[in-house]
Amino acid sequence: MEPALLLNATYEPIKVISWKKAFTLLFLGKVEMLERHERDILTMQRSYALPSVVRLLRRVKVTRKPIQFSRNNLYLRDDYTCQYCGETFGPSQLTFDHVFPRSRGGEKSWVNIVTACQDCNRRKRNRTPEEANMPLLSTPREPRWTPFTMNHNMSGAHENWKPYLWG
């Protein structure tokens, strides 16, 4: 059954929870439902909307672990999209580009690595985006979200979670 994304009262994503847990929180009045799955839950009496995104009504303190700097998490952050041409690719067609070139001392970090397709990476060579006249679609940053650091697999993320994850 479909999981739900749990948000703090501040709309920050906290974690992914089971649909049962989401229902329990709803019935206890601890969360409000912001998004629903297309499917309903049927019981003997009636059908219920299946929560997809729920938000806590009272803020809880969350201790954030740093997000692992990994191939998967970079793809997730950049949504499998080449940050130069804006096209979406499968992982096997994507590469990582050092925004400030490695050959010139560019570091391997959240703020200096972006997802790029093979063509764009080849075209950019060891130049900066300015030198190559290839502006970045967005400024690379360390991601804020945490739900996928444990089970980082995009198949678990739903279309209607995205606005909350990349806020």
- Interaction of residue 85 with Zn ion, rule CB under 5 A: yes
2 φ, ψ to 5°?
-70, 135
- Give the C-alpha separation, 72 to 48, whole Å: 35
Query: Could you tell me the smallest distance in angstroms from the CB atom of residue 81 to Zn ion?
Result: 9
- Give the C-alpha separation, 148 to 76, whole Å: 9
Point out which span in 3-11, 22-30, 31-39, 76-84 binds Zn ion (CB under 5 A).
76-84
- Interaction of residue 99 with Zn ion, rule CB under 5 A: no
Biggest CA–CA distance in the chain, Å, is 67
- Interaction of residue 117 with Zn ion, rule CB under 5 A: yes
Query: Could you tell me the smallest distance in angstroms from the CB atom of residue 88 to Zn ion?
Result: 10
CA distances for 9 relative to 6, 30, 65, angstroms:
10, 10, 19
- Interaction of residue 120 with Zn ion, rule CB under 5 A: yes
What does the binding site for Zn ion look like in residue numbers (CB under 5 A)?
82, 84-85, 117, 120
